Structure 1
Amino acid sequence: MAHHNSLGKVLSLTPAVLIFAVLALLPVINLFIVSFHEVSWLGGAKQMEWVGVDNYIAIGDDPLFKAGVFNTIIVVLVATTAQVVIGLGLALACSSVGDKSRPFRALLILPLLIPGIVIGAIWRLMYNSEFGIFNLILESIGLSGHDWLGSSSTALAAVIVVDVWHWMPFAFLLLLAAVESLPRDVSEAAKIDGATAWQEFRKVTLPLLYPAIFMTFLFRAVMASKIFDEVFLLTAGGPGTSTEVVSFTIFQRYFLQDNAGYGSALSVSIIFVVSVIIVIALNANKSKGMSQ
């Protein structure tokens, strides 16, 4: 009877799973097919000419894409690390305070609720070289202002700061849930054994939080690899290619240059690379967990 019940539950989920699979895979399959064609429009009708792997071969000679990959890696590593570290610190602080931190928690998640276009407008004003708040602060202490978004030496850092500010609350919420679910008896046992606060954090809290930290980092890294809003609204990839990222390169090739075939090839390549990285990271994490 139990076997029939479990089989019935599986069968009842099958239609929903199939619908989800079709909705998820169909666009990717279509993208993959288009990537082997050169797409043009004639009289409002789509014309597709088979070009084989030419679009994929062209990726290696695309200087814009190379710059985008380099900058995206920097954004992923720096922004994600900052978000996880800051989010973990704030999560530990809020958890230690308890219910008194609720107003602070509500304040922390505000950036997540602000529309992207508003974030772009806010930070463009703050970075403004003439009347932005950062330059006003510098000038108030006798230092000269700086063109934060117009200088190739600071533009990418400025974008990363906005991304950290925007998405750090997301990491904070995930890690706060993990911190508050930690077993209290382990921490109390460490204190009874005479462990200092740092020893307790390093040898007890951090190992217990590792799975949550890993998944938060991985999830945010995947999302950061798709960064687009901040670049589009703040710098449009400039100056030069100093803030070019892969998502913005695809946007330019696919929409601005109307090269759907090549843009599809870029998209498929990124999907493949990110998927491989995720699989490798998950397997490495699983192996680490088994070894422990």
Structure 2
Amino acid sequence: MKITSSIFALALVLSACSDAVVNPAGDAVSSPDVEGQYELADIQRALDMTQGVAEFQVIHNADDPKARNVDVYVDGMRALNNFHYRKATPFIPLPTDFEVAVARQNSKSVDDAIAVFPFADLMDGGRYLVVADGVLPSWRFGPTDGIGFNLYPYLVEDVECEGVRMIGFHGITDAPAVNAVVRGVGVVGGDVSYGQFAEGCVPVGEYTLDVTPAGANDVIVASFTADLNGLEGQTVTVLASGFLSPPPGPTIALVVVYEDGTSKTISPLDDDDDDDDDDDDDDEEEEEEEEEEEEEEEGTD
């Protein structure tokens, strides 16, 4: 798997809540925001960490309702159980060579995996973001070439930033390449395509961020409030999430992730829904849709 480190000047934004922490000693510390169970402490003791160690933050941004909650295996051992959509882990120490398998929630073992991804020859001591994104093959999405379920790694290199370091990810499968336009400032991230990362250093302050198609800044796809006050010296990852034209599925939003695994979903300014609360309210409806779809598929076998 190729490690992409293309740099764009991108500013995307915002605020947060809290997740779980697993420290380098392998001790698991949970907080009330974490709904999935972390089993990394035992796994870290079983993995071969002698050939090199890197840190990984895993972010679930796959919009397919069938992958809304997943189980994650590392070298065949369950690492994340019922890992929720639009949630993240903190940075976790793992070997520089390992294999990740992803299964639907409530899987029995790694044999239930829907996708397997090898990671090899990563930088000893490096820090990586790993974003799960894309859709599974089904009638509702049609051909999935280029937008199939995948893991996107990104090496977080050391850079100097006197403001807020923003790392953005384009994770909307049905959206074109986009620009990020800060009102009163201009284009701060240009021509970013699906599956690409972009980053930049942004002064603290409050902004309105417009997402526009690349080359058409007068056409606003969505606008978001960007409050960067109090974040000087921090690194924040911001993911474009959801569907531009829901099939059905989650609508467009930004997912903000901090280094400690804290995450927050931000709705567009013209959306009357209430950020994370809207995600929670949709859980049961999407699970019911998923069950109905699976019953239909079984009936056609």
| TM-score, normalised relative to structure 1 | 0.23
| TM-score, normalised relative to structure 2 | 0.23
Higher helix share: 1
Higher relative contact order (CA closer than 8 Å, sequence separation 6+): 1
Higher strand share: 2
